[in-house]
C-alpha cells in the first residue's frame, strides 16, 4: 500500500529531522532510495525546485516526492505526513509555553536564547548571500586579485535597492519580492 508507505516515511522524516528543511534532505534521500520512489537525478531536481518555489522546503519536497510516487493523492499523503509530527508536538509544547511564559526562570532562559536567535537569523542571511552575491561557476579562488569576476554586481544592486525600499520607503516585503523578481527578469533581457 503505497499511500501508507508514503505517510509513514514522511512522518518519520518530520519526526526525526532537527534544524529545518535542509536538515531533512538526507533523510528524504534515504527514504526515496529504500523505496525506489525516484532516481538520483530526479532527486537533485527536487532540491532545485524546492528552493525556487515559495514555502517550506520540507513541504515542497514531500509534495513532489509523493506526486512522483503516487500522483496527487500521494502528494497529499506525503505532505500531511511531514506536517503531522510538527503539529502534534508543537500543540503539546505551546500549551506549556504560554503557561510558564511569565516564570522568572523561563524569562531568564529566553533572555539567553533571544540574542542567539538574532544571530541565527543573520546567519540565514549570510547563507543566502553566499549563493546570491557570488558567481557559482567562477569559484572563490581569485576573489582578491579580480573581485569583479566573482562578485555578481547585479545582485548587489538589487540587494541595495531592497534595503532602501524597506528602510526608507517601508515597502511591504511581499511587494519587494515581486518587484525584485521582475527586476531580475528585466536585467536579464537588457
Partner 1 sequence: MKSQLKLLIEIFITFFKIGSFTFGGGYAMIPLIEKEVVENKKWVTPEEVVDVFAVAQSMPGAIAINSSTFIGYKISGKKGAIVATLGVILPSFLIITLIAIFFSKFQNAPAVEAVFSGIRPAIVGLISFAAVKVSKTSIVDRTGLILALLSIFLVVIFDVQPIFIILGSAAIGLAIYHLSPKSTSKILSNGGNKN
User: Which of 35/176 has CB closer to partner 1?
Assistant: 176
- Measured CA to CA, the distance from residue 114 to residue 47 in angstroms comes to 31
Segment 135 to 164, residues that bind partner 1, using CB under 8 A = 154-163
Q: Are 85 and 15 in contact (CB under 8 A)?
A: yes
Among the candidate windows 1-9, 32-40, 137-145, 165-173, which touches partner 1 by CB under 8 A? 165-173
Segment 94 to 113, residues that bind partner 1, using CB under 8 A = 94-95, 97-98, 101, 104-105, 107-113
- Residue from 4, 33, 93, 141 that binds partner 1 (CB under 8 A)? 93
As measured in angstroms, the least distance from the Cβ of 57 to partner 1 is 6
* HEC secondary structure over 81-127: HHHHHHHHHHHHHHHHHHHHCCCHHHHHHHHHHHHHHHHHHHHHHHH
Segment 18 to 77, residues that bind partner 1, using CB under 8 A = 18-22, 24, 45, 48-60, 63-64, 67-68, 72, 75-76
C-alpha cell at 179: 518587484
As measured in angstroms, the least distance from the Cβ of 159 to partner 1 is 4
Nearest to 64 by CA among 88, 72, 3, 55: 72
Amino acid at each position: 500500500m503505497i499511500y501508507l508507505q508514503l505517510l509513514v516515511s514522511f512522518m518519520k522524516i518530520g519526526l526525526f529531522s532537527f534544524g529545518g528543511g535542509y536538515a531533512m534532505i538526507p533523510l528524504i534521500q534515504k527514504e526515496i532510495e529504500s523505496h525506489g520512489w525516484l532516481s538520483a537525478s530526479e532527486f537533485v531536481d527536487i532540491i532545485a525546485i524546492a528552493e525556487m518555489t515559495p514555502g517550506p522546503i520540507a513541504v515542497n519536497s514531500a509534495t513532489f516526492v509523493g506526486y512522483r510516487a503516487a500522483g496527487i493523492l500521494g502528494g497529499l499523503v506525503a505532505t500531511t505526513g511531514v506536517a503531522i509530527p510538527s503539529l502534534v508536538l508543537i500543540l503539546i509544547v505551546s500549551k506549556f509555553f504560554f503557561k510558564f511564559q511569565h516564570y522568572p526562570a523561563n524569562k531568564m532562559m529566553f533572555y539567553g536564547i533571544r540574542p542567539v536567535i538574532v544571530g541565527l537569523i543573520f546567519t540565514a542571511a549570510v547563507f543566502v548571500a553566499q549563493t546570491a552575491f557570488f558567481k557559482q561557476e567562477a569559484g572563490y579562488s581569485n576573489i582578491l586579485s579580480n573581485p569583479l569576476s566573482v562578485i555578481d554586481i547585479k545582485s548587489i544592486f538589487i540587494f541595495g535597492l531592497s534595503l532602501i525600499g524597506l528602510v526608507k520607503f517601508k515597502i511591504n516585503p511581499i511587494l519587494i519580492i515581486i518587484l525584485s523578481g521582475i527586476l531580475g527578469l528585466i536585467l536579464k533581457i537588457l
